[in-house]
Each structure stands twice: as C-alpha cells, then as structure tokens.
Structure 1
Amino acid sequence: MPAWIIILIVVAIVLILLGAFVEVAKFLLWIGLVVLVIGLIWWLMQAIAGRKS
C-alpha cells in the first residue's frame, strides 16, 4: 500500500475524532452555562431570603 494512502487514512481518522471532540466540547459548554445560571439563581434566592430574616 502506498505511503500517501496510509497518510490520508490517518489524517481522515484524526479529523473525524477531532470533529467528535469539538461537538462534545460544545455540548459540555452549554451544560456548563446552564449549571452556572442555575447556580446564580440559587445564590440570589439565598441572598434575598437571608436579608429578610
């Protein structure tokens, strides 16, 4: 098998894996933002409730 075919196969596999990791990273970024917003809302509710007592 010629060397250039092996190089093309390796590059294709690397690009496929990289694309999958980027999609996972985007998904985890959105999850992180949602958790951050929920945490901020919870903290604000605690701060407001703490002031009234």
Structure 2
Amino acid sequence: MSVRPIGTDDEALERAALRDRHLDRARTRGAVEDAERRHRAEKDAAAGEHGIHDVT
C-alpha cells in the first residue's frame, strides 16, 4: 500500500489565500455582519424559548 501525502505546504498556503480573499469579499459586501446579526437573532430566539436571558 502506498502512502499519499495529504497536501504540500504550497497547496495549504494557496487554500489559505483563497479563503482570506473570500472572507475579504464577504466583509466588503456586509455578509459577515449579516451573518453575525442572524446568528445573534437565532441565539436570542432560542434563549427566549428556554427562558434564558443573556446578561451581556
């Protein structure tokens, strides 16, 4: 059985660069803030269903 490497350092760096560019575009378009607001709203709704109140 041969062993196949998972990825080279160059491949990992390229994936990281692509991910960073994707996140930068998302921030520019307001997608990150939208996702944070949506996450907070879902968290607040779930807490309300269970009678839990966030003190932050």
- TM-score normalised by length of structure 1: 0.45
Bigger RCO of structures 1 and 2 (CA < 8 A, at least 6 apart) = 2
- Of the two, which has the highest radius of gyration? 1
The answer to which structure has the higher helix fraction is: 1
